[in-house]
Amino acid sequence: MKSYVRFRREPHRRYPASRNHLIKPRIGYLYRADGEILAFPYAIADENCRDGEMLRVPPQSFVDVYYAKILPRLKNDAEQQAAAVYFDPYTGRFIVVGSKQLYLDAKDKFGIAGTQLYLEQESPFSFDPMTYGTLCDPDTAEHLTFDDYFVPDVTGVTIADCMIQPEWDDRTAPWQCALEFCGKYFDRLMKDAGEDVPDTLTTLLASIISCGSHVLLSRLLLAFPGLLARFRPTLQEEEKFTEITIDGFGERIQNLFHYLLLAGDVNCLSVLFNLYERPLELREFLRHPMYYTVGHHHVRTGNHAAMQFLLTHGFNPDAVDTPNNRTPLLLCACRHRMPAMLESLLTAGGDPTRRDKRGLHSIDLAAAQNDCIAMQLLLAALPDDTAHDIVTALAPNLPLSDDNQAMLGILKKYL
């Protein structure tokens, strides 16, 4: 069993269950022997093909079909070929296990919606839909074991992978399955927290955050308040997070709260801050220097919405990683030419006179880059006398050219 949830999946076009009647694919089995093709298709509307499954599979196993319908019609077993045709309604793809050529020769007997995905050649007697189809039917969810949620289907996707997607709502099978899973195994999930490896519940919550499934996150935290303990802010680095990463963030993640801040989904952040039992504790931790890297990451990647949320909830606009002598956030915003980010930091009380390790402050950088917008914002945030002193020292060193006439016009206001 894979005791984790994959964090990233390639996006696919999805076909929710309510639109299945527009697709009308057919699933079933194909068999060829001695040149004759036998086809056993099942319409997707067949009552035995239960609505809401992640992967539509024929209602009978291949073995049953073979002995009841195929074997009596065989004259001999020369040149046997077989294929099982499944359909994934959420990606709009057929999954063909077995002979690709046989499926192509008999394609008119099955639907042509979506794109075919051909898997490896299999022997005729190995087609059991319960082997290849990962089922997720709300009516039968109670029969699923803990391990069933992490068994991949023919496409390598598990129930746990599917149930965290943000497209699902409370009427969709995979989304309901997440609530069933946590409800049924809550005690086990809370006890199985590993010290040095990611445990199932932590990685599941991280996956929900990574996918932006804030509605599901909210429902889980409301239904199981004990989950909030997983988000408790701490300065302690948890070894289990050594394998969890965020795109564009090259440093280690400390804990699940740190991961939530870095993921930067405003809706997920709002869920935690609204439901957490001690919101002042979160605000206090946001001002700790260790979270400088969170602000730096969002400024550098341009996630203005996340940065604005954090500033509103107590993040220090002058956060600085003193031990590593890193660039203050205002200078970082200037360097990457992000005026909206710069304005938010200044509005939250950022100090334009804070210097970096080279002794430069934000106004020096804005002048060097001839960034008039940044210069206007920075000077407007300073007291008039301070702005005058800085401009007086800066103006003589600014070369006179056609390129910086606008910058000189700004500086004249403060001379």
**Cα–Cα distance between 285 and 332 in angstroms, integer?**
22
Helix, strand, coil distribution of the chain in percent, nearest 5: 50, 10, 40
Tell me whether residue 187 is exposed, middle or buried, using C-beta atoms within 10 angstroms of its C-beta: 0 to 12, 13 to 18, 19 or more.
exposed
Compute the distance between CA of residue 219 and CA of residue 121 in angstroms, rounded to an integer: 43
The confidence score (pLDDT) of residue 240 equals 62
Pair 289, 329: CB distance under 8 Å: no
- HSE (side-chain half, CA atoms, 13 Å) at 135: 19
H and E: helices and strands count for the chain: 19, 5
Residue pair 168/122 in contact by the 8 Å Cβ criterion? no
Q: Is the dihedral of CA 298, 299, 301, 303 positive or negative?
A: positive
CA end-to-end span of the chain: 71
On whether the CB atoms of residues 127 and 99 are closer than 8 A, the answer is no
Tens of pLDDT along 90-128? 666 778 888 888 888 888 777 665 667 777 766 777 777
Which tokens belong to 112? 């042509």
DSSP letters for 310-343? HHHTT--TT---GGGTPPPHHHHHHHTT-HHHHH
CB 240 within 8 A of CB 197: yes
Within the chain, which residues score under 70 in pLDDT?
1-25, 45-54, 77-78, 89-92, 111-115, 121-122, 129-142, 154, 171, 193-198, 235-243, 321-325, 399-403
Give residue 399's pLDDT.
64
What was the pLDDT predicted at 8? 44
Place of tokens 């199985």: 192
β-pairing, 36-43 with 26-33?
antiparallel
Residue type, 245: T
Token pair belonging to 143: 């029969």
Q: Report the pLDDT value the prediction gives residue 217, as an integer from 0 to 100.
A: 94
Specify the pLDDT at position 108. 78
> pLDDT (tens digit, 9 = 90+) per residue, 74-93?
877 667 888 888 877 666 67
Question: What's the pLDDT at 344?
Answer: 93
**Total-model pTM:** 0.78
Contact 9, 59 (CB under 8 A): no
**Any residues with CB less than 8 A from the CB of 62 and at least 6 apart, and which?**
29, 82, 84, 125, 126, 127, 128, 129
CB 62 within 8 A of CB 40: no
